[in-house]
Structure 1
Amino acid sequence: MELGFESENLFILAGLDFDTTEEREKYFSKSIGDLKLEIEKDDNRTLQKKL
């Protein structure tokens, strides 16, 4: 936001401190789209939850 990149979804994302991870991921994805950023997705590099 300091660099002039703004969107409604980015402002919502910034205020989601205590919301669920799913909610934050939703607005993160929307913010990426709003800002027209390309995120490279590598299906071979998936994070796995350790038990």
Structure 2
Amino acid sequence: MGFTPQQVNDMSMWQFLAAFDGYAKANGAKEKMSNAEADDLWKWLQEKDGG
């Protein structure tokens, strides 16, 4: 997506997901992430953040 790790760390989850959604649409994504996939991503992000 072109963000540095620092820029991603400085974003809220809402900002990151909005950027991700725009990137996906601009690059031809056909369907959104399922709720289960979003939950898995959230859990993974929380583990990476130490919490």
The TM-score normalised by the length of structure 1 is 0.47
The structure with higher relative contact order (CA 8 Å, sep 6+) is 1
Bigger share in helix: 2
The TM-score normalised by the length of structure 2 is 0.47
